[in-house]
């Protein structure tokens, strides 16, 4: 039976460190501030946004939630982003995705000032990640890196297999593992003989959004398995992309869902907001 990597516990420890760092910033007259913008009434997004606001309060970060109606135009949203770009109380800006279909997501993400882009989705920040010189790390992959580090898992020289190639998780995850000297393979829906590749992984990170997709026969004995998935089964239960029952029999370490990667994502947003505040007060 695998060791369980407890995301809730690691998130709580990391948030305590962040709260102490916020205190220290405040003693220098700096109050980090985050603005979260939500357009429309997607119920999952509403929960995420509420959780982000609450987490900010718990570590002493000032936060604003800007709720805009579904009918908001792209121009209106761009002008809101421009106002936040120029607002000195705000160090970090996050526009919750997905946006309504009539708004071009790329236009919006590109309008956020790179030094306030705490999601690290702006092309300037994705480019900096690519060349190994980032200001901010994208929250979910950064959370995975902290979990590996706090569990004492070596990455250098290991075969790291990332399943999924999204801009939010798969691609930046591959870059962070590469920066940590892993040998990285990225798999996707067109990969031939996926199981053969996943079976060669020392560290397997799965982010595809398909419930219980990775099964025990696809995993090497002793592998580290990180499940980024968050799916709702027909019975209403939350489940990851990894079939926990069979994979936990073979893995040396595994993250559960819920209580694994999820709690780390918001924690990394808090850390990025702290970093942004530091950047703004350095000059």
Residues that bind ligand GUN (CB under 6 A): 94-97, 119, 139, 168
Q: Smallest distance, Å, CB 169 to ligand GUN?
A: 9
Which residue among the candidates 6, 80, 91, 96 is catalytic per the annotation?
A: 96
Q: Which of 166, 178, 159, 143 is nearest to 13 (CA)?
A: 143
Catalytic residue among 6, 52, 116, 212: 52
Closest CA to 250 of 279, 277, 216, 275: 216
The residues with which 52 forms a beta bridge, in sequence order, are: none
Q: Between residues 139 and 219, which has the closer beta carbon with respect to ligand GUN?
A: 139
Dist. CA 243–CA 238, nearest whole Å: 12
Q: How far is the CB of 168 from ligand GUN (least distance, A)?
A: 6
Active site residue 25: no
Of 119, 135, 202, 212, which is the active-site residue?
119
CA-based torsion, 228, 231, 235, 236: positive or negative: positive
Q: Using CA atoms, how far apart are residues 135 and 129, in angstroms rounded to an integer? A: 8
For the chain, the distance separating the N- and C-terminal CA atoms, rounded to the nearest angstrom, is 51
> Does the CA dihedral 150-247-170-139 come out positive or negative?
negative
Residue 52 appears among annotated catalytic residues:
yes
Cite the beta strand spans of the chain per DSSP E.
Answer: 3-4, 33-39, 62-68, 92-95, 159-163, 183-187, 203-206, 224-227, 231-232, 238-239, 253-254
The residue at minimum Cβ distance from ligand GUN is: 97
Task: Return the closest-CA partner of residue 147 out of 275, 250, 265.
Answer: 265
Specify the residue, 119 or 202, whose C-beta has the smaller distance to ligand GUN: 119
Active-site positions?
Answer: 52, 96, 119
């Amino acid at each position: 039976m695998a060791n369980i990597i407890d995301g809730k516990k690691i998130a709580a420890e990391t948030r305590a460190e962040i709260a102490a760092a916020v205190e220290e910033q405040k003693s220098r007259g700096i109050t980090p501030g985050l603005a979260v913008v939500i357009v429309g009434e997607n119920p999952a997004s509403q929960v995420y946004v509420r959780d982000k606001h609450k987490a900010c309060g718990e570590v002493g970060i000032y936060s604003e939630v800007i709720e805009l109606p579904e009918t908001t135009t792209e121009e209106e949203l761009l002008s809101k982003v421009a106002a936040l770009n120029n607002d000195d109380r705000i160090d970090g800006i996050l526009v919750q995705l997905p946006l309504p279909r009539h708004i071009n997501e790329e236009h919006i993400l590109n309008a956020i000032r790179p030094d306030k882009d705490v999601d690290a989705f702006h092309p300037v920040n994705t480019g900096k990640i690519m060349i190994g010189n980032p200001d901010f790390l994208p929250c979910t992959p950064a959370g995975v890196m902290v979990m590996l580090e706090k569990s004492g898992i070596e990455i250098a020289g290991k075969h790291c297999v990332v399943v999924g190639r999204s801009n939010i998780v798969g691609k930046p995850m591959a870059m962070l593992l590469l920066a940590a000297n892993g040998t990285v393979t990225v798999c996707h829906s067109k990969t031939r003989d996926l199981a053969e590749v996943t079976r060669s992984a020392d560290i397997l990170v799965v982010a595809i959004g398909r419930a219980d997709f990775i099964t025990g026969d696809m995993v090497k004995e002793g592998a580290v398995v990180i499940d980024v998935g968050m799916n709702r089964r027909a019975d209403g239960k939350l489940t990851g992309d990894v079939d926990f029952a069979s994979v936990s029999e073979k893995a040396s370490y595994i993250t559960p869902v819920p209580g694994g990667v999820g709690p780390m994502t918001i924690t990394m947003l808090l850390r990025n907001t702290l970093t942004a505040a530091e950047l703004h007060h350095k000059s």
